[in-house]
Amino acid sequence: MPLRRPLTLSEWFAVATKINGRHRGKRDERAALLNRVELAIGMSMMVTFNVETDLDIANSSRGEITKIVLDERETGFTPTAPIVERAYPPACILVKMNRTKAVQLAGPEKNVLPLVPLERTL
């Protein structure tokens, strides 16, 4: 019987980039992830799945990245470097949504919500 546990980052990447036997040598467009994801403060973003439809955080909702909170395991961060490569996904990204019904959080400006990396099990 298979174990039911979350995949590790390397297992998730292996599953997501697995090449289908019929398309050997070609990229599998349904499951392929990029080796690198570029994020920047001020960058426009779009939600690509339904997070919380009652709050308008759903597929095709748009916003702008206002802050990137790094994983606590990251070391050697230089805030003045124009490009920073990290070993772990960010702990969270603060996004100012163009439209949301979410309650105003204490601290961030209006419509700013924290989004955390998605974790799925197969």
Domain boundaries along the sequence of the chain: 1-35, 37-122
pLDDT at 25: 47
Tell how far CA 100 is from the center of its chain. 19
The answer, as to whether pTM is greater than 0.75, is no
C-alpha dihedral sign at 83, 34, 6, 45: positive
pLDDT at 97: 85
Q: How far is CA 49 from CA 14, 23, 114, in A?
A: 21, 26, 16
φ and ψ of 12, to 5 deg: -60, -45
Q: In this predicted model, which residue has the larger pLDDT, 82 or 122?
A: 82
- 18-65 pLDDT, tens per residue? 555 444 444 445 455 566 778 888 999 888 877 777 777 778 888 999
pLDDT, residue 22, reads 47
Q: What is the pLDDT of residues 87-114, one digit of tens each?
A: 888 888 888 888 776 666 666 577 788 8
CA angle 95, 101, 105 (to 5 degrees): 55
Q: What is the mean pLDDT of residues 78-95?
A: 82
